[in-house]
Amino acid sequence: MSDIDNINIEAIDLNLLKVFEALHEEGSASRAAVRLGLTQSAVSAALGRLRRLYDDHLFVRTGRGLAPTLRANELKPLVSEALDKCRQSLQLVSGGRAGYAGRSLSLGLSDDFELALGKQLIDRLELEMPGLRIVFRQTHSRIVGDMLLDRQVDMAIASGGFTSAAIGCETLGEGRYACLLDACQSLTEDEIDSQQRLTLAAFLSRQHLLVSSGGFIGMVDEVLIPQGLKRTVRASTTHFSALPYLLLGSGALATIPLHAARTLAAFHPLQLVLPPIAMPAYAINLGWRRDALRDPAIVKMKQVISDILLAFDWQNGTAQGQ
């Protein structure tokens, strides 16, 4: 029988699990110490005990901090789930007085949704779930299902990707597209019609910036190619938030979700116009692990996010009241 087989849980300081969680999420002993209100030497000592307990190095030092080992990544969802159960039990006996202090829940979403919804999500969750820390994590439809099943996120907003039977999903909106370009690069009367749509000739003659996880083909190309048409893509990026700095000073344009285009145009000197081609609408989905609904905090966050998505005016790309 190995030493691991002889471990008695009563002899283990369960506070070590909080240190493990903080180290994994912060990627730094100094940041974990600040988060937990401990000294860095205390966190380092706890890490030494964790390494002996799990017979693994757990975290290795890199140029950017501490990187988890494979064993640490395997342990993370189990440790966080156990700690969340403890937090739930304390909330029961506190009668809700403690709010959600100490809880952090993660929401997977691409940065177009974060641009349009992030501030509203933070404000509503702060009001309705005081003490909760919401963590936004980047995802997209190709990887969102795996991220949920691997417990990298607790919930996610995406346009598809929720195909596993272990994942619940609701469609809470329908998104549309718009074009963005430098507002200083004035459009001529020949380039835009009375409905603020680019003409097809203007659309095809300009260079394009593509936002894509793959970097080569976008929804615009899928619409143009069957019509025997082609655009010129000048460059690709994976983040919508980079577009203002890539578009300004150029004659290029980007065709992106309307909600992101509306937000970017409100804060940058960018002009929003409608595309000349019929772009298909797409579903706005909220997904979650079905077994996570045993957690009241997950249920509450799901309701808050559902309310925000349902109230959003996807037709015009604006939040309620804007």
User: 50 near 43, Cβ under 8 Å?
Assistant: no
Query: What phi and psi values does residue 145 have, to the nearest 5 degrees?
Result: -60, -45
Least confident of 78-92, 216-230, 232-246, 303-317: 78-92
Query: Residue 2 has what pLDDT?
Result: 44
pLDDT, mean over the chain: 89
Tell me the two tokens of residue 22.
């903080």
Q: What is the per-residue pLDDT for 160?
A: 92
Kindly report the CATH number that applies to the domain delimited by 4-77: 1.10.10.10
- Percent of the chain's residues with pLDDT above 90: 67
Check if the beta carbon of residue 11 is closer than 8 Å to that of residue 73: no
Q: Which fold has domain 177-273?
A: D-Maltodextrin-Binding Protein; domain 2 (3.40.190)
What is the pLDDT at residue 6?
Answer: 57
Q: Same fold for the domain at 4-77 and the one at 103-175+283-311? A: no
Q: How would residue 14 be classed by pLDDT, with cut points 50, 70 and 90?
A: confident
CATH of 103-175+283-311 given 3.90.1310.10, 3.40.190.10, 2.30.30.100, 2.40.50.140: 3.40.190.10
Q: Distance between CA 162 and CA 286 in Å, rounded?
A: 9
Overall residue count recorded for the chain in this entry: 322
The domains of the chain are located at: 4-77, 103-175+283-311, 177-273
Q: How much is the pLDDT for 1? A: 37
Strand-pair category, 155-158 with 207-211: unpaired
pLDDT digits (tens, 9 = 90+) for 39-84: 999 999 999 999 999 999 999 998 888 999 999 999 988 888 788 7
pTM of the model: 0.78
Arithmetic mean of pLDDT, 251-280:
95
**Amino acid present at 277:** I
- Beta pairing class for 177-182 and 167-175: unpaired
129-160 per-position pLDDT tens digit: 998 999 999 999 999 999 999 888 999 999 99
